[in-house]
């Protein structure tokens, strides 16, 4: 791993009474007893935890090289994005201070290890890595150590398997996770049952379950199924805080026997209360009136707060700005839940940005005659506001009704590559159409 420690920032403070009080180039290997390790900048870790990672021992003789190695270990752990250090040499020994910036940490996620709960695996890792709190950096020594500890925990229970890890998108929300898995695991999903009987009786859900049944057990696959196929059912009903999972393995018989290759999966579901829409407050909008945006959103006070309809309405708001050339408009929506009244309201902050005008249309893959007819059919004049909705309608016509553009001219293509190329400096838009 490339070392990110800025050597130029290392400060050496030497006192005349110190054993190291001599020109640095006269004795570069000078050492003295280490009396204290201090840290600055810690947020989630403690000073003893960071000190332990350095590998330094209080009372041991250390020199500048030892402190550099200790700083390298802090970087290589993955827990810190930036490390600098300094030391002071005093009559009683050396005091080292490490200034640290903690790296981003993401949740640990155990994919196809159904023999144990998250709690059991987390406890095993925490016992060896006291700073572990269910989150890990994206890379580094501590991630490898966590995988080794989980593998040793499995081995202690008679399961020999090497655990690998990778950073992937979180199937249960935004951001990434540090996923741990076993390659080539033989366990397969025999069935999947929900605690909510309405899901077990749903023909749509049962049809979609065919994608999971008989396939290798993967919590990731199950969680994606819950997010994409099951959660929308509750969102439409206004159960915006429905809790789905985590999936469980429920077997009968001797608990000391190893799992069968075909395992049943049970998913506990708590629908939660039904929320109703209480309204929206807009800010930052000057081009479009708040009443206009509320109408575009399309929700009425007192209605069931359909989560899917809310997302679709916010998308329409973004599209409305694209309709008038504001391609950079940002819509930041913050929900506010009243858990006593079971109502939901939103505060939406708009950053409208600048309007873009159409500049040029580039066409490839057509004959000169076909290109001329396409340009004749193009409806956004150069220098006018770029209407994204009009552009998308034009694309739809190319795909579904090409005769409306090319008339009786025979034109053959399988697909149309299309790109919007904004020029942020001039606030203009170039369009590229590639026919293949």
Q: Which H or E run includes 124?
A: helix 118-128
Instruction: State whether residue 308 is helix, strand or coil.
Output: helix
Span 87-99, average pLDDT = 91
Is the per-residue pLDDT at 366 higher than 60?
yes
Span 268-280, average pLDDT = 97
Closest Cα to residue 337, out of 189, 202, 238, 261? 238
**82 vs 42: CA distance, rounded Å:** 11
Q: Examine domains 7-102 and 186-252+259-274 and report if their fold is the same.
A: yes
Alpha carbon separation from 329 to 289, 325, 354 (Å, rounded): 15, 9, 8
Angle value at C-alpha 166, between 160 and 171, nearest 5 degrees: 105
With contact defined as beta carbons under 8 Å apart, do 28 and 64 qualify? yes
The strand ranges marked E within 284-427 are 330-338, 343-351, 357-364, 416-423
Architecture of domain 186-252+259-274: Roll (3.10)
**Lowest mean pLDDT: which of 20-24, 168-172, 202-206, 218-222?**
20-24
With contact defined as beta carbons under 8 Å apart, do 89 and 63 qualify? no
**Lowest mean pLDDT: which of 25-34, 186-195, 217-226, 273-282?**
25-34
**405 vs 83: CA distance, rounded Å:** 62
**Lowest mean pLDDT: which of 107-111, 163-167, 408-412?**
408-412
Closest Cα to residue 128, out of 110, 114, 142? 142
Span 414-428, average pLDDT = 94
Is the per-residue pLDDT at 422 higher than 60?
yes
pLDDT at 296: 96
pLDDT digits (tens, 9 = 90+) for 69-90: 999 999 999 999 999 999 998 8
pLDDT at 158: 85
With contact defined as beta carbons under 8 Å apart, do 352 and 384 qualify? no
Is the per-residue pLDDT at 8 higher than 50?
no
- For the segment(s) 276-351, the CATH number from 3.10.580.10, 3.40.50.300, 3.10.20.310, 3.40.50.720 is 3.10.20.310
Residue 99 is classified by DSSP as E
Is the per-residue pLDDT at 166 higher than 50?
yes
| Chain centroid offset of residue 218 CA | 19
Is the per-residue pLDDT at 19 higher than 50?
no
Task: Indicate the fold that domain 7-102 takes in CATH.
Answer: Ubiquitin-like (UB roll) (3.10.20)
With contact defined as beta carbons under 8 Å apart, do 91 and 21 qualify? no
357-435 CATH: 3.10.20.310
**Lowest mean pLDDT: which of 180-184, 223-227, 322-326, 400-404?**
180-184
What's the N-to-C CA distance of the chain in angstroms?
44
**300 vs 310: CA distance, rounded Å:** 11
pLDDT at 75: 96
**333 vs 348: CA distance, rounded Å:** 4
Span 237-242, average pLDDT = 96
224 phi and psi, to 5 degrees?
-65, -40
pLDDT digits (tens, 9 = 90+) for 23-65: 333 333 588 999 999 999 999 999 999 999 999 999 999 999 9
Beta-carbon count within 10 A of 5 CB? 17
> Domain coordinates of the chain in residue numbers?
7-102, 186-252+259-274, 276-351, 357-435
Is the per-residue pLDDT at 5 higher than 70?
no
pLDDT at 251: 66
Strands 32-40 and 93-102: what pairing? Answer: parallel
Closest Cα to residue 115, out of 49, 67, 186? 186
Provide CB contacts within 8 A for 379, sequence distance 6+.
Answer: 390, 394
Confidence band for 184, pLDDT divided at 50, 70 and 90:
confident
Q: Which residue reads 């196809």 in tokens? A: 112
Q: Percent helix, strand, coil in the chain (nearest 5)?
A: 30, 30, 40
**397 vs 403: CA distance, rounded Å:** 9
pTM: 0.77
**193 vs 201: CA distance, rounded Å:** 10
């Amino acid at each position: 791993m490339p070392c990110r420690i800025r050597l130029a920032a290392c400060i050496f403070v030497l006192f005349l009474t110190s054993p190291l009080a001599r020109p640095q180039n006269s004795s570069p290997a000078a050492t003295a007893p280490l009396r204290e390790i201090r840290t600055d900048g810690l947020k989630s870790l403690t000073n003893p935890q960071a000190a332990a990672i350095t590998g330094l021992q209080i009372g041991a003789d250390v020199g500048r090289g030892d402190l550099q190695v200790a700083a390298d270990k802090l970087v290589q752990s993955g827990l810190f994005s930036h490390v600098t250090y300094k030391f002071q040499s005093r009559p009683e020994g050396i005091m080292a201070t490490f200034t640290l910036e903690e790296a981003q940490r993401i949740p640990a996620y155990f994919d196809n290890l159904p023999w144990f709960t998250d709690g059991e695996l987390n406890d095993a890792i925490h016992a060896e890595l006291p700073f572990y709190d269910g989150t890990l950096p994206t890379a580094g020594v501590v991630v490898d150590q966590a995988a080794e500890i989980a593998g040793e925990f499995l081995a202690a229970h008679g399961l020999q398997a090497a655990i690998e890890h990778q950073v992937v998108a979180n199937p249960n929300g935004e951001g990434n996770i540090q996923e741990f898995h076993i390659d080539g695991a033989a366990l397969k999903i025999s069935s999947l049952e929900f605690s909510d009987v309405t899901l077990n009786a749903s023909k749509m859900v049962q049809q979609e379950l065919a994608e999971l049944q008989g396939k290798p057990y993967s919590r990731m696959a199950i969680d994606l199924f819950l997010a994409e196929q099951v959660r929308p059912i509750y969102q439409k009903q206004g159960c915006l805080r429905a809790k789905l999972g985590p999936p469980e393995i429920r077997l009968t018989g001797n608990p000391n026997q190893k799992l069968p290759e075909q395992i049943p999966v049970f998913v506990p579901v708590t629908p939660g209360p039904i929320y109703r829409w209480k309204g929206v407050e807009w800010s930052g909008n000057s081009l479009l009136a708040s009443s206009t945006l509320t109408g575009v959103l399309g929700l009425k006070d007192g209605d069931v707060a359909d989560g899917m309809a809310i997302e679709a309405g916010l998308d329409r708001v973004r599209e409305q700005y694209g309709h008038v050339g504001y391609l950079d408009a940002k819509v930041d929506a913050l929900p506010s839940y009243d858990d006593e009244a079971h109502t939901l309201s939103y505060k939406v902050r708009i950053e409208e940005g600048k309007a873009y005008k159409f500049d040029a249309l580039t066409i490839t893959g057509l004959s000169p005659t076909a290109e001329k007819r396409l340009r004749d059919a193009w409806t956004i004049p150069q220098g006018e506001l770029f209407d994204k909705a009009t552009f998308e309608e034009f694309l739809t016509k190319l795909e579904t009704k090409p005769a409306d553009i090319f008339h009786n001219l025979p034109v053959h293509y399988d697909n149309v590559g299309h790109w919007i190329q904004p020029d942020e400096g001039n606030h203009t838009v170039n369009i590229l159409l590639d026919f293949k």
